[in-house]
Structure 1
């Protein structure tokens, strides 16, 4: 997920592209919402990954 945002900034699309467009249009509210969504997704994926590692160990 982290890589998809970075790839989006360089033109691959996805969440990074949306954030880049929002910042270029000076739309702070939308950029903040996208950033918060990204943080929730990454934190959720990390939590799920940690839980699965504990269950499999």
Structure 2
């Protein structure tokens, strides 16, 4: 009985951690993507007029 309980508890903890990790990695992916776009726009804006940056 107690073994079952421990296993369930462990699975719950694991699930929470994986959700936490997923949210974190999702955020980091978006941040990286945003930074890449920003750098790309800064590089291309040198050739274009400034209003094209927006």
**TM class by shorter-chain length?**
0.5 to 0.7
1:46 alignment partner in structure 2: 33
Distance, in Å, in 2 between the alignment partners of 1:49 and 1:55 is: 10
| Aligned pairs, number | 33
Greater relative contact order structure (CA < 8 Å, 6+ sep): 1
RMSD value, Cα: 1.1
Segments of 5+ residues of structure 2 without an aligned counterpart are 1-9, 45-54
Larger Rg: 2
Q: Which runs of 5+ in 1 are unaligned?
A: 1-24
Q: State the 4+ residue runs in structure 1 displaced beyond 6 angstroms.
A: none
Which has the larger share of helix? Answer: 2
Q: TM-score, normalised by structure 1?
A: 0.54
- Distance apart, 1:35 and its partner CA: 0.5
